[in-house]
């Protein structure tokens, strides 16, 4: 969410009515999330000036660890230097820390492509935004889910009950510090996740939603603490249940 919001902001800056705007003091502390959108808190160091040049050799974009040769345009300006500077700073301050770890395994190759392409400045802001929007579509639609044997058949469903939320085993990246609360596309994906975790014996798909509209599923190691809830359903591993317990 943070990276996508940042890319949308940089897309606007690259195509603003004032021209391409560069953030000269590009640091994480210069941004804040407001209603799920990243905002710039200080525009004192924003500029529309692009580096003047006489030849291509005047247009090297230097960073502490990398340098990029750019073209000198016919009007004597380094082509795209403001856009590229913003994008590489987004890569080194945000993408490298957030993208590799925050998506389902099937989507990580797509994010790695974005990471590598922006790190080498092979993508401009237009291509970067398009790539992010593609990943978002795959994520929201569930199209990233590989066809595999159904996992819900391994579970008994109890309609009209939910689990008591309390401290339980931890997982990453959990939406709760008390236990394992993850975003899922469906109960089927939740069952696959539960099967992949040795501690998990039961789960419930809650009514809570993430910013993408996906529900949150709560995974627990014990299915014994159940309370009535007409709008809920608990899924319990068949191997964890018995006729006596139920």
**Residue 191 structure tokens:** 């069952």
pLDDT at residue number 246: 44
Q: For the chain, what is the radius of gyration of the CA atoms?
A: 23
User: Is the separation of the CB atoms in 181 and 218 below 8 Å?
Assistant: yes
- What are the start and end residues of each CATH 3.50.4.10 domain in the chain? 152-242
| Cα–Cα distance, 188 to 185 (Å, whole number) | 8
Residues spanned by CATH 1.10.510 within the chain?
1-144
The reported pLDDT for the residue numbered 245 is 45
What pLDDT sits at residue 5?
A: 95
DSSP codes of every residue in 83-122: HHHHHHHHIIIIIHHHGGGSS-GGGHHHHHHHHHHHHTT-
Length of the chain: 246
Q: % helix / strand / coil in the chain, to the nearest 5?
A: 35, 25, 40
Look up the pTM and report it: 0.84
**Predicted pLDDT of residue 87:** 97
Domain covering 152-242: architecture: 3-Layer(bba) Sandwich (3.50)
Catalytic center residues: 25
Q: Kindly give the confidence (pLDDT) of every residue in the chain, 246 residues in length, as a single tens digit, with 9 standing for 90 and above.
A: 999 999 999 999 999 999 999 998 898 999 999 988 899 987 778 999 989 999 999 999 999 889 999 999 999 999 999 999 999 999 999 999 998 877 888 899 999 999 999 999 999 999 999 999 999 999 999 888 877 768 888 899 888 888 877 788 999 888 988 899 999 999 999 999 999 999 999 999 988 999 999 999 999 997 667 888 888 889 999 876 554 444
Among the CATH numbers 3.40.50, 1.10.3470, 3.90.1570, 1.10.510, which is that of 1-144? Answer: 1.10.510
pLDDT in tens, 88-129: 999 999 999 998 877 888 899 999 999 999 999 999 999 999
pLDDT of the residue at 240: 63
């Amino acid at each position: 969410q943070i990276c996508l919001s940042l890319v949308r902001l940089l897309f606007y800056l690259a195509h603003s009515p004032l021209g391409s705007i560069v953030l000269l003091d590009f640091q994480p502390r210069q941004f804040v999330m407001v209603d799920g959108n990243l905002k710039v808190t200080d525009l004192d160091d924003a500029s529309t000036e692009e580096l003047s040049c006489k030849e291509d050799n005047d247009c090297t974009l230097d960073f502490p660890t990398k340098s990029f040769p750019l073209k000198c345009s016919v009007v004597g300006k380094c082509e795209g230097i403001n856009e590229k500077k913003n994008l590489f700073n987004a890569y080194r301050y945000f993408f490298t820390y957030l993208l590799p770890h925050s998506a389902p395994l099937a989507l990580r190759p797509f994010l790695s492509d974005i990471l590598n392409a922006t790190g080498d400045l092979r993508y401009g802001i237009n291509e970067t935004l398009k790539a992010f929007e593609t990943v978002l579509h795959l994520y929201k639609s569930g199209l990233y889910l590989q066809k595999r044997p159904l996992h819900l058949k391994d579970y008994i469903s109890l309609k009209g009950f939910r689990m008591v939320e309390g401290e339980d085993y931890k997982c990453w990246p959990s939406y709760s510090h008390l236990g394992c609360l993850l975003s899922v596309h469906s109960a089927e994906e939740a069952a696959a996740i539960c099967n992949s975790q040795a501690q998990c014996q039961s789960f419930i798909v809650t009514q809570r939603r993430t910013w993408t509209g996906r529900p949150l599923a709560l995974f627990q190691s014990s299915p014994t603490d159940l309370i009535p809830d007409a709008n809920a359903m608990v899924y319990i591993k068949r191997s964890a249940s018995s006729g006596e317990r139920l």
